Amino acid sequence: MARIMSRATLLAGFAALAAAAAALAWSGPGSQAQDRPAQDRPEAVRAVPESAAHIQLTFAPLVRDAAPAVVNVYGESRQRAQSDPREDFFRRFFGDDAFGGMPRERVQRSLGSGVIVDASGLVVTNNHVVEGMDEVRVALVDRRELDAEIVLRDPRTDLAVLRIDADETFPAVPLGDDATLEVGDLVLAIGNPFGVGQTVTQGIVSALARTQVGISDYQFFIQTDAAINPGNSGGALLDMAGRLVGINTAIFSRSGGSHGIGFAIPATMVRAVVASAEAGSERVQRPWLGASLQALTPDLAEGVGLLRPVGALVTDVDPRGPAAEAGLARGDVILAVDGQEISDTEAFGYRFALAGVSGESVLRVLGRGGERELRVRLVPPPEDPPREAVRVDARSPLDGAVVVNVSPAVADEMRILQIVGAVVVQEVPPRSLAARYGFRPGDALLEINRMRIEATSDVERALSRGRGVWELTIHRDGRTITTVLRG
């Protein structure tokens, strides 16, 4: 049976919780507890308010400073709606007035949050908030709405950087260091849930380095129980110093509301994406390892002499890549990157991506000869061969698709296995014939009508041999499939 509490009881309970947390850091007359190491003061975790001042402790000063830098982000996309033949008939005789004079246009909108991280008006939000949007506006706390330009999108981290179109100085939240966070630390989440207006929620760091979430390519999230709801995406996760330690990006929910399981992108990754935007880059450059990795199972870990299944197992090495040059071999297990231990392949991807594209990175590796350290050159993946994009316009099952040559850069960008001398589908427009036949980005075209496809220039020449029947061999999701299509 639900228990109903009065407003006064609720307020008193919240005040007691805040005071108890703050008392951990309080040192007043007659108290020497804070002079001792945390492990030697078990009574600290049981601290209770000792004065009226404690009961009145509040997060308000922190929120007052940070809230003006948290904005609402509105996206809008206008697309021509698909025509109805019956409407076309009436339009031919009566024009748009037959339908109230309204143009046949479909408007899609998105709503999220964002954080100003530079006084010049640089805003960080989630890529999914502005994905596919033609126009973006931000609403400030003072209710002004300003146009914003999308400076950089990074779907792989689900981050985007905007610049407010106004010549003024804006309040900004300083970027913090998520590496100093510990499970149990207090955090605040600020955003615009459900479009009701700016809202602040409080909680703790529930977990760090969450990797099995399935939100983006670089999975290494801060988990919090601070309430995060739809519309909070792109909002701020703050530490108790008022610094940005994460960008709220997703929740685990069966109902659409907060169940106390929210995820934020760490500030370290945010800093790297913002740096790329400030440098004028159109996309974030990340280093190329030149090796394929997989997670260790308990059996595999036992086979290589590990007590626990941690690290990333090397399954293949590109002979032209930095990994081969450094001496990394198939069967090696990468245990740490630049002194940071890794638990799985996602953790490796995150740590290695943050290393940049200059200098070297030190990998601690376990192999047949025991543990050793390897220095890997940090270079971006090469675009060799050039992608040479071609949009197929021949009447065929691939009509409308954009195909490119596979290179390490393309394979890394599309998160696919690099197949030497292959062509891959990069884009499939929604209403194209290729989409109707079921082609997807990432499909590697190996053969068309028994002709080996080694470059984009081969595609239309091979398709022209079809004459209504096309035999295709494609590689998708680790499987090679041969099929016959008719049209």
259 and 192 inside one domain: yes
Q: Say if 373 falls within a structural domain.
A: yes
Q: Which residues belong to the active site? A: 128, 158, 233
6 and 148 inside one domain: no
pLDDT score at 213: 59
- Average the pLDDT over 343-351 and give the result: 88
pLDDT score at 287: 93
Q: Say if 125 falls within a structural domain.
A: yes
Please give the structure tokens belonging to residue 249: 């990006």
Report which of 126, 124, 122, 123 is spatially closest to residue 112, judged by C-alpha positions.
126
Q: Considering its fold, how many domains does the chain have in total?
A: 4
317 and 272 inside one domain: no
315 and 372 inside one domain: yes
pLDDT digits (tens, 9 = 90+) for 395-429: 889 999 999 999 988 888 887 777 767 899 999 99
249 and 330 inside one domain: no
What residues are designated binding site for substrate?
76, 128, 158, 231-233
Please give the Cα distance from 139 to 70 (Å, whole number). Answer: 9
What residues are designated binding site?
76, 128, 158, 231-233
- Work out the mean pLDDT of the chain and round it to a whole number: 80
CATH number, domain of 456, equals 2.30.42.10
Q: Say if 385 falls within a structural domain.
A: no
CATH number, domain of 175, equals 2.40.10.120
Give yes or no for residue 281 having a pLDDT over 60: yes
Sequence-distant (≥ 6) Cβ neighbours of residue 453 within 8 angstroms: 422, 423, 445, 446, 447, 459, 462
137 and 241 inside one domain: yes
Please give the Cα distance from 30 to 256 (Å, whole number). Answer: 49
pLDDT digits (tens, 9 = 90+) for 302-334: 888 888 999 999 998 989 899 999 999 999 999
Please give the Cα distance from 182 to 184 (Å, whole number). Answer: 6
Sequence-distant (≥ 6) Cβ neighbours of residue 268 within 8 angstroms: 177, 178, 179, 354
pLDDT score at 257: 52
Q: Which of 226, 256, 284 is the last residue of a domain?
A: 284
| Predicted confidence band of residue 195 (pLDDT cuts 50, 70, 90) | low
Q: Which of 377, 411, 428 is the last residue of a domain?
A: 377
Sequence-distant (≥ 6) Cβ neighbours of residue 30 within 8 angstroms: none
Please give the Cα distance from 64 to 61 (Å, whole number). Answer: 5
Return the SS3 of 43: helix
Q: Say if 384 falls within a structural domain.
A: no
Sequence-distant (≥ 6) Cβ neighbours of residue 94 within 8 angstroms: none
Percent of the chain with pLDDT over 90: 36
52 and 68 inside one domain: no
Q: Answer for the pair 450, 461: CB distance below 8 angstroms, yes or no.
A: no
pLDDT digits (tens, 9 = 90+) for 425-468: 999 998 899 999 999 999 999 999 999 999 999 998 898 887 78
List Cα–Cα distances, 18 to 25, 74, 210, 227, 231, in angstroms: 12, 34, 27, 16, 26
Q: Say if 173 falls within a structural domain.
A: yes
Tokens 């964002």 found at: 114
260 and 122 inside one domain: yes
Sequence-distant (≥ 6) Cβ neighbours of residue 84 within 8 angstroms: none
Q: Which of 316, 350, 377 is the last residue of a domain?
A: 377
182 and 196 inside one domain: yes
User: What residues pair up with 425 in beta bridges, in sequence order?
Assistant: 403
Q: Say if 42 falls within a structural domain.
A: yes
50 and 72 inside one domain: no
51 and 72 inside one domain: no
* C-alpha atoms less than 13 angstroms from C-alpha of 174 in its C-beta half-sphere: 9
Q: Say if 98 falls within a structural domain.
A: no
188 and 246 inside one domain: yes
Least confident of 68-77, 92-101, 300-309, 412-421: 92-101
**Residue 398 CB-density burial (10 A; 0-12 exposed, 13-18 middle, 19+ buried):** buried
Give residue 101's identity as a one-letter amino acid code.
G
- Give me the domain span that covers residue 298: 291-377
pLDDT digits (tens, 9 = 90+) for 1-38: 333 334 344 344 444 444 444 443 433 333 333 334 44
Q: Say if 253 falls within a structural domain.
A: yes
